[in-house]
Amino acid sequence: MMTNRPAPIRLALWLLLLLIVMAFMHLALTWRRDSLLGAIYEEAGAGDNTMLAVALAHLVSLVWLSVLAGSYLVAATQITRRQGAARFWLAPVSLLLVCCSGLNVLDAVFARGSAPDDLAFAERVTQLTEQRMPDWHPLLHALLRGGVALGTLVVVVLLLLPSSGRYFRLRWG
């Protein structure tokens, strides 16, 4: 049964669907980037501690992005069922996303955990990265990361509009 939803709610639902797709694209891109970087570090002769840091950063990125995509799916389901909880728990998620996106927290953790003291090793990693990583990869990664953060903020703003509040207060009769 289709209900009459206000325009901000319809827009928020479409945007959430787009964010789900973007989150899965970001997940696939992160998987590819991290597996490439793992192979590059291994070929460059990284030690066990560095490889452990690379694997841990890879795991944290994948878990975070999977939880993010799942939270968007749950939010879309709650909105279609007129459960207003999505309006409130998406706000801290969006703030965390903006912080992670703006400050590149996950990338900083990745770089700090894998930065060796040996300058020759760092140069070898840079050289291998330039050879194997496509030129468009960092740009697309940054666009997806920033787009997901900005899109989440827009969804939160749309859900906090007064017409959206009336939608959540009305009950099916």
* Average pLDDT score over residue span 87-98: 78
**Residue recorded with tokens 């740009």:** 139
DSSP string, 71-133: HHHHHHHHHHTT-THHHHHHHHHHHHHHHHHHHTHHHHHHHHHH--S-HHHHHHHHHHHHHHS
The whole-number pLDDT of residue 131 equals 84
Is residue 108 included in any domain, yes or no?
Answer: yes
pTM here is 0.77
* Average pLDDT score over residue span 108-121: 55
The whole-number pLDDT of residue 21 equals 94
* Domain total of the chain: 1
Distance CA 12, CA 27 (A): 22
* Average pLDDT score over residue span 20-49: 84
The whole-number pLDDT of residue 173 equals 45
Is residue 2 included in any domain, yes or no?
Answer: no
Is residue 135 included in any domain, yes or no?
Answer: yes
Average pLDDT in the chain: 79
Residues of the chain above pLDDT 70, percent: 83
Is residue 88 included in any domain, yes or no?
Answer: yes
Is the pLDDT assigned to residue 153 strictly greater than 60?
yes
Is residue 1 included in any domain, yes or no?
Answer: no
Please give the residue range of the domain that contains residue 56.
Answer: 7-161
pLDDT tier, 52 (very low <50, low <70, confident <90, very high otherwise): confident
Is the pLDDT assigned to residue 98 strictly greater than 50?
yes
Is residue 133 included in any domain, yes or no?
Answer: yes
Is residue 171 included in any domain, yes or no?
Answer: no
Is residue 55 included in any domain, yes or no?
Answer: yes
Calculate ∠ Cα 68-108-119, nearest 5°: 145
Is the pLDDT assigned to residue 159 strictly greater than 70?
yes
